[in-house]
């Protein structure tokens, strides 16, 4: 009979709250580094946010990117980027938006098709205008902000304002560092990346709520236990669930990143980073922050006494 695999001891006793200053300093440096990268290098905005023409092609034999780039650079269409798109026969051609409206974009597409060999298969041709790209960017930012404030309202209602503030600080940390990792790697930042950030927010807050719920239970159960010890116990009691959930999620995301192709590579990469940083922030930031937010233990204690009175 196979024995179960234990990634952690059955009753871990890791000292998270004692190392909180290390976690806080590391996270502050990570956020500062992410903001600095965003300010200096910005993001590699995709066609969703930048506007332009995107053409996906398939060649009958492995193509020569250098030759295609040389052929298309003489068309006078401005910046043209060509990259492999999964297989060695699949390529993605990006052409900067042309002056002159939709007609100018169609002319540019015609020039590209006339220059490339006639045996090429054109699998997709898309154009995003500047006005549409600005609206998509604005809506993406609003979606992230509304999600954060909605989560703040839920946690505040579900627990107390101290828990809500701690959760939002940890969640903002996840969002900012995700943007920083995209600025560092130069991966395309598009609508699927925004979807990844929103998914990260949901995943991270789910982990945080699980630990917070255990904190609240322990606040009612252990009235005289020092708060640092109580918070540390709460983290350790939910650590196995948190780690197992993250590992199984990463297994699926790893397969998606390797086998999913170029279209969803940015999304899957963002999710992999988000699961890692979200797990870290839920354990090492969201809970230790409660030590500095003056959690009201008296309210929880009175609630516990009221709940016990009918049984007595």
Residue 176 near residue 255 (C-beta atoms within 8 A) = no
Higher-confidence residue of 16 and 304: namely 16
pLDDT digits (tens, 9 = 90+) for 191-202: 788 888 888 888
Least confident of 86-90, 106-110, 178-182, 193-197: 86-90
Give all domains of the chain, ordered by start, each with its CATH number.
17-44+133-305 (1.20.1640.10), 52-128 (3.30.70.3400)
CA 304/CA 308 separation, integer angstroms: 6
pLDDT in tens, 261-287: 666 788 889 899 999 999 999 889 988
Per-residue pLDDT at 299: 46
* Of 33 and 240, the one with more pLDDT: 33
Indicate whether 310 pLDDT > 80: no
pLDDT given for residue 57 in this prediction: 85
DSSP result, 125-173: EEEE-HHHHHHHHHHHHHHHHHHHHHHHHHHHHHS-HHHHHHHHHHHHH
What's residue 312's pLDDT? 37
Q: How confident is the model at residue 8 (pLDDT cuts 50, 70, 90)?
A: low
What are the φ and ψ backbone dihedral angles of 121, each rounded to 5 degrees? -95, 125
pLDDT score for 29: 95
Task: Take residue 7 and report the two structure tokens written for it.
Answer: 């990634």
Of 148, 150, 132, 146, nearest in space to 191 by CA:
132
CB 238 within 8 A of CB 211: yes
4-29 mean pLDDT: 79
Instruction: Give bridge partners of residue 54 from the DSSP assignment.
Output: 94, 126
Question: Once rounded to an integer, what is the mean pLDDT over residues 181-204?
Answer: 85
- In the numeric block, the tokens 């910046």 are attached to 79
Give the Å distances, CA to CA, from 263 to 10, 189, 256.
41, 12, 11
Residue 175 has pLDDT above 60, yes or no: yes
pLDDT, the chain, mean: 80
Residue range 120-134, pLDDT digits in tens: 888 888 776 666 667
CA distance linking residue 142 with residue 42, whole number of Å: 19
- The pLDDT, as a whole number, for residue 304 is 38
Choose among 179, 239, 234: nearest CA to 36: 179
210: pLDDT strictly greater than 60:
yes
Instruction: Write the DSSP string, 31-46.
Output: HHHHHHHHHHH--EE-
Please give the pLDDT value at position 305: 39
Strands (E), the chain: 44-45, 52-58, 80-85, 87-95, 121-128, 188-189
Residue 183 has pLDDT above 70, yes or no: yes
- 93-97, 111-115, 128-132, 252-256: range with lowest mean pLDDT: 128-132
Whether the CB-CB separation of 237 and 222 falls below 8 Å is answered with no
Calculate mean pLDDT across residues 191-217.
86
């Amino acid at each position: 009979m196979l024995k179960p695999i234990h990634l952690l001891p059955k009753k871990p006793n890791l000292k998270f709250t004692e190392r909180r200053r290390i976690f806080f300093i590391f996270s502050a440096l990570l956020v500062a580094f992410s903001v600095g990268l965003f300010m200096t290098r910005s993001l590699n905005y995709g066609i969703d946010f930048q506007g332009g023409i995107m053409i996906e092609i398939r060649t009958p034999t492995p193509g020569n990117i250098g030759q295609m780039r040389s052929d298309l650079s003489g068309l006078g269409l401005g910046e043209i980027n060509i990259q492999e798109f999964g297989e060695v026969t699949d390529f993605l051609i990006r052409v900067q938006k042309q002056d002159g409206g939709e007609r100018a974009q169609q002319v540019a597409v015609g020039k590209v098709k006339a220059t490339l060999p006639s045996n090429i298969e054109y699998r997709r041709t898309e154009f995003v205008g500047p006005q549409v790209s600005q609206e998509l960017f604005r809506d993406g930012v609003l979606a992230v902000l509304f999600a954060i404030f909605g989560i703040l309202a839920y946690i505040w209602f579900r627990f107390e304002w101290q828990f809500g503030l701690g959760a939002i600080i940890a969640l903002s940390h996840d969002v900012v560092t995700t943007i920083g990792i995209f600025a560092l790697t130069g991966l395309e930042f598009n609508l699927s990346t925004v979807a990844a950030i929103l998914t990260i927010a949901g995943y991270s807050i789910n982990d945080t709520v699980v630990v917070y719920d255990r904190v609240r239970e322990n606040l009612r159960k252990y009235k005289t236990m020092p708060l640092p010890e109580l918070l540390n116990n709460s983290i350790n009691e939910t650590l196995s669930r948190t780690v197992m959930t993250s590992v199984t999620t990463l297994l699926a995301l790893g397969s998606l990143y390797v086998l999913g192709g170029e279209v969803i590579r940015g999304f899957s990469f963002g999710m992999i980073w988000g699961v890692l940083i979200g797990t870290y922030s839920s354990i090492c930031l969201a809970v230790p922050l409660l030590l500095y937010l003056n959690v009201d233990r008296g309210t929880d204690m009175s609630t516990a006494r009221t709940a016990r009175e009918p049984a007595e």
